[in-house]
Structure 1
Amino acid sequence: MRMSKSAVQKLGKRLEVPGEAPEEALMQLEELLIDYSELLTAARGVIDELCDTLDWPLSVTHRLKTTDTLVQKLQRAKARGDSTNLARVQDIAGIRLSGNITLIEQDQLRDWIIERFEGQGHKCSVRDRRTDPMVGYRAVHVIVSIEGRYVEIQVRTLSQDLWANVFERIADIFGRGIRYGEPPDSGGEAVGNIIRMMEGFSARLYEVERLAYTDDAKRDGREATLEAQRPLLAQLREMLRTTEDITGRLST
């Protein structure tokens, strides 16, 4: 039997208590994730159908948060004094679209996604992290409400996606909490400098990407806009290789 919103909220309250989560609560969480998995499969089908109609260089992936990740998220919020309603968590099920597209094309893709899901009777909301970045993270998120559950669809340009991958590797090394503005687990001020450097790099990338909205870019075409990003993308790829190498050596 499907869990009600109130039951999901009560489950979240049990899981957010610091320490090892009760086995019974973890089993309930696993059942909830099965429900989300079915929704994710259906939503992925909608996205795949949309992408089949486009001749765009898009990569599509999807993921479901694990029980461990969800428990950590709830307990981390509780430790900050910001208790989270599990029934309202929007990124349990996620789909990611990324590709070598401009900001204008990102807007178009966002609108087409909303059109597809709203055409099926689902409500959608948008969180534009391009103008409101979190610790430098930029993307467009479309939140789809399906039968009282949420699927988060992240739409990223190539620059946004590469930047996020680099920052993920940095978080693997110094603590996942830095993605939410929390202090690093180790490294102190040196890591703080790295984070500020990444935030500055994100701002530079966004300024270059905004060429897509200028009159010159419209006259010269999308290739001119994408060409202007290539030196920064090369730097990001080198940063990604470096951080992946450090992560690999730390894990051995």
Structure 2
Amino acid sequence: MPMSNSAVQKLGKRLELPDAMSEADLTLLEDLLIDYSELLTAARGVIDELCDIVEWPLGVTHRLKTTDTLIQKLQRAKARGSSTNLARIQDIAGIRVSGRLTLAEQDQIASMVVGRFEEQGHRCSVKDRREDPMIGYRAVHVIVAIGGRFVEVQLRTVGQDLWANIFERVADMFGRGIRYGETPEYGGQAVTDVISSMEAFSATLYELEKDVAASVVDGSDRDTAQAELDRNLDGLRQILQDVEGIKGRPVT
């Protein structure tokens, strides 16, 4: 029988304290992730069906957080002076859909995802991170509640996806906390400057994406607008090369 939400919450409270963890708790967490894996498989099937319907070429991937990642997330929140309810974490199971979409098409996909899951009796909520980004991160997220658990469906344009993947790479190298506005663990001011550059790039890409969307509405040349966006994506890839050069330098 799946764990109740109250039992999951209590498990999370124990996991956020390193001295309170036990082998039994780790086993319970592994069992919980098995439940999420089953939900993720079912949800992925729904997303694949929707992507077969639309005319745009879309890439779909999925992932399940690991036990280590979840424990680190809980303990990091506790160290910041807050506490995360394990039962309410919305991105344990995630599906990512990305492609050469306009912003309007991104909205359309989000509406289709919500409609399909709600038809099945599942409650959905939408988080639009485009106008209100988090440290430059932009996307549309659909959170699907299934049987008291959550599956997060991330919908990204090509630019949003490339930006997020590069930022994840930076976080892997210089400290996962930068995703929440924390100071880099390594690299000093050089990495801080890179993060500032990436935030500025995110804003520029978003304005270009709005130009592409407008070009579709007014009948002008979408390809020309898209080409300008593509040139900026090349600049974003250059940032990644610069970051790779910073890696391994002494901390300053």
Give TM-score scaled by structure 1 length. 0.93
- Which residue number in structure 2 is paired with residue 103 of structure 1? 103
- Does residue 226 (structure 1) correspond to residue 190 (structure 2)? The answer is no
Counterpart mapping for 1:5-154 below 5 A = 5-18=5-18, 21-154=21-154
Between the aligned partners of 2:197 and 2:19, the Cα distance in structure 1 is 35
Between the aligned partners of 2:64 and 2:215, the Cα distance in structure 1 is 41
Between the aligned partners of 1:19 and 1:135, the Cα distance in structure 2 is 32
Query: Given that residues 169 and 244 in structure 1 are in contact (C-alpha distance below 8 angstroms), is that contact kept between their aligned partners in structure 2?
Result: no
Deviation at 1:211, TM superposition (A): 1.1
Q: 1:175 corresponds to which letter in structure 2?
A: G
Between the aligned partners of 1:117 and 1:221, the Cα distance in structure 2 is 35
Query: Given that residues 104 and 212 in structure 1 are in contact (C-alpha distance below 8 angstroms), is that contact kept between their aligned partners in structure 2?
Result: no
Between the aligned partners of 1:216 and 1:35, the Cα distance in structure 2 is 43
Between the aligned partners of 1:244 and 1:141, the Cα distance in structure 2 is 29
Query: Given that residues 78 and 84 in structure 1 are in contact (C-alpha distance below 8 angstroms), is that contact kept between their aligned partners in structure 2?
Result: yes
Between the aligned partners of 2:193 and 2:245, the Cα distance in structure 1 is 20
Q: 1:109 to 1:245 in 2, by over 3 A?
A: farther
Q: 1:117 corresponds to which letter in structure 2?
A: F
Query: Given that residues 123 and 146 in structure 1 are in contact (C-alpha distance below 8 angstroms), is that contact kept between their aligned partners in structure 2?
Result: yes
Query: Given that residues 102 and 225 in structure 1 are in contact (C-alpha distance below 8 angstroms), is that contact kept between their aligned partners in structure 2?
Result: no
Between the aligned partners of 1:218 and 1:185, the Cα distance in structure 2 is 47
Between the aligned partners of 1:222 and 1:113, the Cα distance in structure 2 is 26
Q: 1:207 corresponds to which letter in structure 2?
A: E
Q: 1:114 to 1:221 in 2, by over 3 A?
A: farther
In structure 2, the residue corresponding to 1:71 is in which secondary structure? helix
Range that drifts further, 230-239 or 114-123: 230-239
In structure 1, the residue corresponding to 2:219 is in which secondary structure? helix
Deviation at 1:63, TM superposition (A): 0.1
Between the aligned partners of 1:145 and 1:225, the Cα distance in structure 2 is 37
Structure 2 unaligned runs (5+)? Answer: none
Counterpart mapping for 1:190-209 below 5 A = 190-209=190-209
Q: 1:7 to 1:221 in 2, by over 3 A?
A: farther
Between the aligned partners of 1:30 and 1:216, the Cα distance in structure 2 is 47
Q: 1:90 corresponds to which letter in structure 2?
A: Q
Tell me how many residue pairs correspond in the alignment: 249
Between the aligned partners of 2:113 and 2:244, the Cα distance in structure 1 is 32
* Cα-Cα RMSD: 1.9
Q: 1:104 corresponds to which letter in structure 2?
A: A
Q: After the TM superposition, list the runs of 4 or more consecutive aligned residues in structure 1 that deviate by more than 4 angstroms.
A: 241-247
Range that drifts further, 13-22 or 192-201: 13-22
Give TM-score scaled by structure 2 length. 0.93
Structure 1 unaligned runs (5+)? Answer: none
Percent of aligned pairs sharing the same letter: 64
